[in-house]
Amino acid sequence: MSLSPTEQAIPLSGVHFDGREEELVLEVLRSGRLSLGPMIDRFERLFAERVGAVRAAAVSSGTAGLHLAVRTAGIGPGDEVITSPFSFVASANCFLYEGATPVFADIDPDTLNLDPAAVEAAVTSRTKAIVAVDIFGYPCELDELYAICDRHGLALIEDACEALGAEYKGRPIGSDGHLAVFAFYPNKQMTTGEGGMVVTKSAAEWNVLKSLSNQGRADSGGWLEHARFGYNYRLSDVAAALGVAQLEKLDVLLAGRNEAADRYARLLADVEGADPLLANDADHTRSWFVYPVRLADGVDRERLIADLGSQGIATSRYLPSIHLQEYMRGRFGFGEGLCPVSEHASRTLLSLPFWTDITPGEQERVVEALAAALG
Ligand SMILES: Cc1ncc(COP(=O)(O)O)c(C=O)c1O
């Protein structure tokens, strides 16, 4: 690929650091407390405060957090778990690890989150839980899902890995008290490199989460005493230092992403064949994670990807439907037609380059290239 000197490649995502990350990482290095140290407690306290949660448990990834949430909710072999097919695979893998059976309910075509009516229709006597996802940072229909859980005695686990900073009916995601999981991979709203956080209002659940993430050790026991069958899902204090530095400026990170999303929406207003996602309403405030556009039916997405790629502009087919992944088809016999709304979204969405510091010039270049490719 040869680009002119003014046409630098535009990646799909990027991170925003300033001197604070280095300062806090150095503080950890100089303290010698690289694991199970005070920076973890600081990160957990600050995070809980920020999302309005009672307690937060830091873990090594969003996937690890989801797995521990599933363990904490007591999900196991023979249980069915209803979840969204339009998500990253970890939101289903987390209960496959425990031998539970996935039941995919289709999504709402506008929100791209679980359609509560489809969830209700999927409940059986074996259903144990719902893993609801806030896809692309758009809050899922929590109140309707609570009602379903109440009616049928189900647990609700929220995969909020893409939704730090989002709000549902004015309540920050993470503040309602059920188990909810966030993630900090570098393309997320804030990053610790790898990392995640589980929030809960329950002190008992928090104790179990902390124990499970630390090889099943109990507070009262010694280093080689294990009260439970656990894992090493600990986050290091070095990563927690990044987390504290990022949380301190989360408002700046979110504002930059909002601004970039607004700019894309303005630029795309004149482009036929590529529409922005659903806008906020009184009940839903999105926290911008990635920036997918909906391509009109019949648009050749592969040609667009190749065309933009030849100009150094990265794009992504975000997201394939989970039930159609090879291992899912092979193990459970899922096929096309199971969740048509999700499958349509998987065929027609295209993610554009998006991060806190993407410049207006970069966004203009992306949209000009997209418009030309569509035209
Ligand atoms: C919806 C969703 N769930 C789970 C995860 C897993 O998080 P991690 O990559 O930190 O394990 C992600 C991260 O990409 C995600 O987007």
Q: What is the pLDDT along the chain (375 residues), one digit of tens a residue?
A: 556 645 789 999 999 999 999 999 999 999 999 999 999 999 999 999 999 999 999 999 999 999 999 999 999 999 999 999 999 999 999 999 999 999 999 999 999 999 999 999 999 999 999 999 999 999 999 999 999 999 999 999 999 999 999 999 999 999 999 999 999 999 999 999 999 999 999 999 999 999 999 999 998 889 999 999 999 999 999 999 999 999 999 999 999 999 999 999 999 999 999 999 999 999 999 999 999 999 999 999 999 999 999 999 999 999 999 999 999 999 999 999 999 999 999 999 999 999 999 999 999 999 999 999 998
Please report, in angstroms and rounded to a whole number, the separation of the first and last CA atoms in the chain. Answer: 23
Q: Which atom of ligand 1 is nearest to the CA of 135?
A: 1
Per-residue pLDDT tens over the stretch 228-264: 999 999 999 999 999 999 999 999 999 999 999 999 9
Would you state the structure tokens that stand for residue 236, as one six-digit string?
């290091």
Give me the long-range contacts of 298-305 (CB less than 8 A, separation at least 24).
299/273, 299/274, 299/348, 299/374, 301/347, 301/348, 301/350, 303/373, 304/350, 304/370, 304/373, 304/374, 305/350
Angstrom distance (rounded) from CA 169 to CA 175? 12
- Which pLDDT score is estimated for 4? 60
Q: What's the gap in Å between 134 CA and the centre of ligand 1?
A: 11
Q: What's the gap in Å between 368 CA and the centre of ligand 1?
A: 31
Q: Which of 275, 221, 191, 184 is nearest to 16 (CA)?
A: 191
Cα–Cα distances (Å) from 295 to 135, 142, 219, 345, in that order, read 18, 28, 53, 9
Report the residue among 12, 83, 161 best suited for mutation to probe ligand 1: largest number of ligand atoms under 8 A from its CB: 161
- Which pLDDT score is estimated for 220? 86
Q: Which atom of ligand 1 is nearest to the CA of 91?
A: 3
Report the residue among 67, 135, 185 best suited for mutation to probe ligand 1: largest number of ligand atoms under 8 A from its CB: 185
The secondary element (H helix, E strand) that includes residue 234 is: none
Report the residue among 97, 140, 162 best suited for mutation to probe ligand 1: largest number of ligand atoms under 8 A from its CB: 162
Give nearest CA residue, ligand 1 atom 4: 90
Q: What's the gap in Å between 336 CA and the centre of ligand 1?
A: 24
The catalytic position among 128, 188, 210, 249 is 188
Q: What's the gap in Å between 255 CA and the centre of ligand 1?
A: 22
| 128 noted as active-site residue | no
- Which pLDDT score is estimated for 3? 64
Q: What's the gap in Å between 88 CA and the centre of ligand 1?
A: 6
| β-strand partners of 172 | 167
- Which pLDDT score is estimated for 182? 99
Q: Which atom of ligand 1 is nearest to the CA of 64?
A: 11
Per-residue pLDDT tens over the stretch 167-190: 999 999 999 999 999 999 999 999
Taken in order 277, 279, 280, 283, is the CA torsion positive or negative? negative
Would you state the structure tokens that stand for residue 326, as one six-digit string?
């090879």
- Which pLDDT score is estimated for 6? 59
- Which pLDDT score is estimated for 245? 98
- Which pLDDT score is estimated for 8? 85
Q: What's the gap in Å between 372 CA and the centre of ligand 1?
A: 33
- Residues in contact with ligand 1 (CB, 6 Å cut-off): 61-63, 87-88, 90-91, 133, 159, 161-162, 183, 185, 196
Q: Which of 342, 287, 321 is nearest to 138 (CA)?
A: 287
Q: Does the predicted model carry a pTM greater than 0.85?
A: yes
In Å, the largest CA–CA distance within the chain is 67
Would you state the structure tokens that stand for residue 314, as one six-digit string?
């990265």
Per-residue pLDDT tens over the stretch 128-152: 999 999 999 999 999 999 999 999 9
